[in-house]
Structure 1
Amino acid sequence: MSSTPPRATPSRATPPRVVPADRGATRIADRVIAKIAAQAAREALPAPPDRAAAAHATVTVHHDIARVRVSLELDYPSDLAAQCAAVRRQVALRIEECAQMSVPEVDIDIEHLHATYARPAAGRDRRLR
Structure 2
Amino acid sequence: MVPAADRGATRIADRVVAKIAAQAAREALAGGLPAPGAAPHATVTVHHDIARVRVSLELGYPSDLAAQCAAVRTQVARRVEECAAMSVPEVDVDIEHLHSTHTRPAPGGRDRRLR
Q: Deviations over 1:67-96 (max 9, x none)?
A: 000001001111100000000000000011
Matched letter for residue 38 of structure 1: A
Structure 2: how far apart are the matches of 1:108 and 1:45? 13
Structure 2: how far apart are the matches of 1:84 and 1:51? 19
Unmatched tracts of structure 1, length 5 or more? 1-16, 121-129
Q: 2:20 matched to which residue of 1?
A: 36
Q: 2:109 matched to which residue of 1?
A: none
Structure 2: how far apart are the matches of 1:89 and 1:30? 19
Runs of 4+ more than 4 Å apart: none
**Root-mean-square deviation over aligned CA pairs:** 1.2
Within the candidate set 60, 74, 77, 1:75 is matched to 60
2:91 is aligned with 1:99: no
Q: How does 1:39-58 map to 2 (within 5 A)?
A: 39-47=23-31, 48-58=33-43
Unmatched tracts of structure 2, length 5 or more? 106-115
Q: Percent identity?
A: 81
Question: Under a length normalisation based on structure 2, what TM-score does the superposition of the two structures give?
Answer: 0.86
Number of equivalent positions: 104
Q: How far is 1:50 from its partner? A: 2.5
Structure showing greater radius of gyration is: 1
Within the candidate set 60, 67, 73, 2:45 is matched to 60
Q: How far is 1:19 from its partner? A: 2.5
